[in-house]
Amino acid sequence: MSNSTNNIVIPTGYMGSGSSAVTDILSEIEGYSENNGSYEYVFLHCPNGVFDLEDKLLVGNTTLRSDEAIHSFKNCMIELYDRKNYWVSGYKYKISNEFLDFCNEFLDDIGMLYLKDAYWYYQQNPRGIKMHLKILYSKFYNRIPILKNEKVPLTYKDVYMAYPSEEQFYSAAKTFLNKIFVALGIYEHNLVLDQFILPQNISRLENYFSDDIKVIIVDRDPRDVFLLNKYVWKKRRQAVPYPYDVQVFCDMYSKMREIDAKIYSDKVLRIHFEDLVYNYEDTLNLLYDFLNINSDMHRVNKCKIFNPSMSQKNTQIYKINTCLKKEAEIIEKRLSKYIYNFEDKPSGNEQQDFKYIF
């Protein structure tokens, strides 16, 4: 890895749990740089990202499976590099214009080979108009002896394959990530990378990162998550993919949290968004200790970006209106172990007008 004395800090959470609050707090502290604000780095855990590549190549791998895996990975990285109007894209500017070179070097390091002019059924799938036209042209020309050729209509050429060992794959992945951290400035300052890894993937930490990684998982009362998503974020076109039916939400949320591997490591700190609001100083001290931060580093810009008193209105949303209380009571009953104990803490919402807020 980087062998830097600086930290790589990853604020993360459970869709709408408020991890960006940690990113905001850290941006107030000297020596920390979020580089791109609350921009979410998804290339590890997104569909066809690095973790998907790991699973496909290390579990039940075959030549055909590795071809699909590598092509899907390459296509995904190209989209993230510089696809216009795709908000998680832009790695060319947010990471490095060498990002695709890093990806190709990573594939070389896991032993990628290619079979020239080889093909399999996946490449012959007649998807899209272009492929259908290729098939029609091929059928037409092959009926004429003088024009007949052996070329098979394909969606893409050549077959990629790789059979890396676990040691080879993880070593290559660490080298790949190190190049990204260096490009982002790990030797100049600490890095804050929002959503770089998700809670469900904490079990992968040891294989991808060294001692300079610090993960801060932010939890949040599911009553507020549900109500904000349904009545606020949805109208602002900022909704996260939770059901809007309260019973279905409870089903999904409980199952999502059950698969969260509870790994207690010195690299992982779990906090509540509500504690950042109501127990601000105590929670700050937890962050300071976890990251080995001197509180003097936070003296100048403290509360300039994240203001705990302002964030009170984003808690205890169910106090605004009677209909919200009914849905909140269902969540409180069904998801009791995830409910935050507010202990009659003021929310700033009791006197708010429902229509004004929403």
Contact in structure between 34 and 185 (CB atoms under 8 Å): no
Pair of tokens at residue 182? 């260096």
With 0.85 as the threshold, say if the pTM is over it. yes
Tens of pLDDT, residues 62-114: 888 998 999 999 999 999 999 888 889 999 999 999 999 999 999 999 998 88
Phi, then psi, of 234 in degrees rounded to 5: -60, -45
Identify whether 55 is part of a domain.
no
Position 5 scores a pLDDT of 82
Residue 35 lies in a domain: no
Please indicate, yes or no, if residue 132 is contained in any of the structural domains.
yes
Q: In sequence order, what are the residues at sequence separation of 6 or more whose Cβ sits closer than 8 angstroms to the Cβ of residue 165? A: none
List the domain range (segments joined by +) for residue 126: 119-157
**Element holding 215 (H helix, E strand):** strand 213-219
What are the start-end ranges of the H helices in 28-118?
50-58, 63-82, 91-94, 99-109
CB distance 1 to 177 below 8 Å: yes
Of the CA atoms within 13 Å of residue 289, those in its CB half-sphere come to: 9
Query: Domain tally for the chain?
Result: 1
Q: Is residue 4 part of a domain?
A: no
Structural domain includes residue 146? yes
Using a pLDDT cut of 70, give the percent of the chain over it.
Answer: 84
Establish if 231 belongs to a structural domain: no
Residue 69 counted as domain residue: no
65 falls within a domain: no
